[in-house]
Amino acid sequence: MDPSFPEHGKLRNLLLHLSQEFTVAVNPTVVHETYHTLVFRQKWLPDEAGRRLTMLLRHPFIKFYNQTKTVSVIALRLAEKHALGGRDALIIGNYLANRVPNLYTHDDDLLKLEEMTWKSYTMKFIDPL
């Protein structure tokens, strides 16, 4: 979302290529972590960060998955089993519960794991660059 990040140039067209066949997913943790980074690290105006994230949430090919008790239980178990931090576990648990096939990340610790399974569903960790 921020042109000052090195990834922006390589990934800015991602949203332009979304379709019924190619969707992406977000959840509350991702949205609010993004807001926090934009406002407190990148020094965006809060109303601009909020406006852009709201537009993102309204995009027809961006799926939004809510947090639930089940997601929290899954996240707690994943955190314990894989020594994950709370936010990472919550994001991963949410996506696994919703059967998201790939999680795009630059997090070296997650990329080393390559994938994670919950019950019979496996999600891969992929660096989008």
Helix/strand/coil for 64:
strand
Q: Which two tokens stand for residue 74?
A: 């899954």
- Closest among 13, 31, 20 to 128, alpha carbons compared: 13
List, run by run, the mean pLDDT of 10-residue segments along the chain (129 residues).
76 84 95 96 96 96 97 97 95 97 93 95 93
**Pairwise CA distance, residues 124 & 100, whole Å:** 9
Q: Which pTM value belongs to this model?
A: 0.89
